[in-house]
Structure 1
Amino acid sequence: MPRSESPTPPKNLRVAELDELDERIVEILEQDGRITNADLAAALDIAPSTAHVRTRSLIERGVIRGFHASVDHNRLGRGLQAIVGVTLRPGSRHDSIVQFADEVRRLPEVLQMFFVGGTDDFLVHIAVEGSSDVRRFVVDHLSAQQSVASTRTSIIFEYHRNAVAAPFR
């Protein structure tokens, strides 16, 4: 699915029922999405065919939505990360929300974007080279939009992503 599209969840979405083996498979794959089927089976003390069938079932049921690379943005020259809280102007909110989300999620600096309740309408997680790039992103891509009432930027010093990131030093 292209990055600009957002899947529409079914209205009758039910929580997937997982047994202990399914839960263990998910836990191992969260730690290492590149583990071979043979190593997964060995870790679970099950046959490789069982590991394959159970993993395929988790994918088909939508429990596992994909396998992703954990990228070191420092090595890509984008070592400064920030979270930008964005509040939209009151008014035709639905159209503003949809338009804002469609435009911003496509920007290469954006790692993640969250539509949230509370003070902010959106939290935009970006990775850029330096502080002047944060300023440029906020001014050119966020504040310049007529629907944006205000922004609030927080620089990220360190972060932890469960099951993926290295521990704090």
Structure 2
Amino acid sequence: MERRTVERPPLDDIDHILLAELSIDARIPNNALAAKAGIAPSTCLTRIRALRERGVIRGFHADIDPALAGRPLQAMVAVRIQPNARSRLDPFLWDLSELPGVLNAFLLGGTYDFFVHVAAPDSTALNDFVVEHLSSNPDVALTETSLIFQHARSPRFA
């Protein structure tokens, strides 16, 4: 995928209320969402559609517990890329996001080039992931794996 230019459309207080409520429960019925924002249901639908069309709302997702889905071991893998591979950072990010077990992939500034949030069934599978998909890649200079003991998702986009 190619890098998108981030456009910052102006958001008003109603938009912020809608975003906050949807971040808590993306399945909230439209009439309940409209009531929380103090607007008519038809206006709410129009605003949500506009937020989606402008790319502010990128999608609606299920929050899945990796442990209950058979992947109880989570880790954050820091990745540093070889200096000669700097021109391929963007494609590498999208390739990372498609790998099995990857929950999130982040392109960074700083010591590491990427953080890869991975969920695996066990330590052997995590080791296999790092070796097969990262360490064996000639563009990868270094990996450092940190286990995640607990995780708390922010309950609201505010």
TM-score, reference length from structure 1 = 0.83
Structure 1: segments with no counterpart, 5+ residues: 1-5, 165-169
Q: 2-side partners of 1:139 and 1:113: how far apart?
A: 17
State the alpha-carbon separation in 1 of the partners of residues 7 and 86 from structure 2: 29
Find the residue that maps to 1:76 and give its secondary structure: coil
1:33 Cα deviation (Å)?
0.5
Give me the TM-score of the superposition, normalised by structure 2.
0.89
Matching residue of 2:42: 49
Structure 2 spans left out of the alignment, 5+ residues: none
In 2 relative to 1, CA 102–25 (structure 1 residues): closer, same or farther, beyond 3 Å? closer
Q: Secondary structure at the match of 1:137?
A: helix
- 1:19 is aligned with what amino acid? D
Shift of 1:28: 0.7
Query: Displacement, 1:148?
Result: 1.3
Quick one: distance in 2 between partners of 1:77 and 1:69?
Answer: 16
Q: Is 1:104 the counterpart of 2:96 in the alignment?
A: yes
Contact 2:2 2:91 (C-alpha < 8 Å) held by counterparts: no
The 4+ residue runs of structure 1 with deviation greater than 6 A are none
Q: Match for residue 3 of structure 2?
A: 8
Deviation at 1:102, TM superposition (A): 4.7
> Cα 1:102–1:8, aligned 2, differ >3 Å: closer, same or farther?
closer
Where do 1:74-153 residues align within 5 Å?
74-95=67-88, 97-98=89-90, 100-153=92-145
Deviates more, 1:85-94 or 1:112-121: 85-94
Partners of 1:87 and 1:135 in 2: CA distance: 17
Root-mean-square deviation (CA), in Å?
1.8
What CA distance in whole angstroms lies between the structure 2 residues aligned with 1:46 and 1:105?
A: 37
CA gap 1:115/1:52 in 2 versus in 1, 3 angstroms: same
Structure-2 separation of matches of 1:70 and 1:7: 27
Matches of 2:84 and 2:138, distance apart in 1:
12
* Distance in 2, Cα, partners of 1:160 & 1:51: 30
Q: Number of residues paired by the alignment?
A: 156
SS at match of 1:161: coil
Overall identity of the aligned pairs, in %: 44
* Cα pair 2:85 2:139 within 8 Å, conserved: no
- What is the deviation of 1:92? 4.1
Cα distance in 1 between the residues matched to 2:102 and 2:28: 28
Larger mean CA deviation between 41-50 and 79-88 belongs to: 41-50
